Amino acid sequence: MNNYRIRRRVYELILKAASSGPSHPLPGQRELLLVFFCKPDRFLESDDRSGNIAGVRLEETTLRGDDLGKQIVVGTGVFVDISCGLVLKNIGYKSVAINNLPFDHYKGRVLANSSGDVPQYETGLYVCGWLKRGPTSIIATNLSCAEETVASISEDIGKGVLTSDSAKLGREGLLQLLEGRNIKAVQFDDGEKIDAKEKKRENLKNKPREKLATWEELLQVVSE
């Protein structure tokens, strides 16, 4: 239900923007245009071979039903070029298979997981995030995704599927392992130090914070 509410909110925002009619930006203003059912194919280089971006080639897409009755996006083989001088590339990743888990390499997610639980492979094994659903969704989806997986864990505990093993060292065992490998564990208080430092940096320039970009900078703040 949480996923449904999130998707509905996104659709409402898009419909609101689409129904507002064409805008007439004033000189110096920028206009945002959303293009749907297209996927990037390649960047186009300028004719002078300077290495500068001249445009983006997009492939038109369509929805097609898969073997499970779900709709997937597929390319149509029809391409269109859009001229531009600047490209902002979204940074993402795709999950990879681990420990011989049943894995869908095309969608980048663990197969046969039910609300985050993977009982067919191993009792007490759960997945979350993109390993659970593939590289999709918006920022807020991770919250409802995690809640669903935690609910599966809680349900298994209630059924007695999971039992507590007092012989396991838990958090203390993890900290000992990290210390033995000379790995610095950043605690919650350390995170607050980093947050405060980023907000107080001298070169904010009307920004809410200036991010610390390297491990060395982060660890230096933690050790202060």
Per the CB < 8 A criterion, the answer to whether 129 and 142 are in contact is yes
Around 53, how many Cα atoms within 13 Å sit in the side-chain half-sphere? 14
The pLDDT of residue 42: 93
Most confident of 47-56, 156-165, 200-209: 47-56
pLDDT digit string, tens, across residues 208-220: 888 888 888 998 9
Sketch the domain layout of the chain as residue ranges: 33-91, 103-159, 171-223
Percent of the chain exceeding pLDDT 70 equals 88
pLDDT digit string, tens, across residues 113-149: 778 888 777 778 888 888 888 887 776 778 888 888 9
> 188, 186, 210: which is closest to 198 by C-alpha?
210
Task: Identify the helix (H) or strand (E) that includes residue 81.
Answer: strand 71-83
Better-scored residue on pLDDT, 141 or 151: 151
C-alpha distances (whole Å) from 208 to each of 53, 195, 203 are 30, 11, 11
Length of the chain: 224
Better-scored residue on pLDDT, 102 or 66: 102
- Which of the four pLDDT bands, split at 50, 70 and 90, describes residue 92? low
- Whole-number average pLDDT of the chain: 82
Most confident of 57-61, 87-91, 93-97, 176-180: 57-61
- Which of the four pLDDT bands, split at 50, 70 and 90, describes residue 81? very high
- Which of the four pLDDT bands, split at 50, 70 and 90, describes residue 190? very high
Neighbours of 95 (CB within 10 A): 20
The pLDDT of residue 41: 93
The pLDDT of residue 2: 53
Is 0.75 topped by the overall pTM? no
> 110, 106, 108: which is closest to 74 by C-alpha?
106
Three state DSSP letters for 87-154:
CCCCCCCCCCCCCCCCEECCCCEECCCECCECCCCCCCCECCCHHHHCCCCCCCHHHHHHHHHHHHHH
Per the CB < 8 A criterion, the answer to whether 79 and 111 are in contact is no
Neighbours of 209 (CB within 10 A): 13
Per the CB < 8 A criterion, the answer to whether 194 and 223 are in contact is no
Amino acid in position 56: V
In this predicted structure, the answer to whether residue 223 has a pLDDT above a threshold of 50 is: yes
Better-scored residue on pLDDT, 15 or 192: 192
The pLDDT of residue 1: 47
179-204 average pLDDT score? 86
Joined tokens for residue 102: 């049943």
Joined tokens for residue 79: 């391409």
- φ/ψ bin of 205: left (φ > 0), alpha (ψ from -120 to 50), beta (otherwise): left
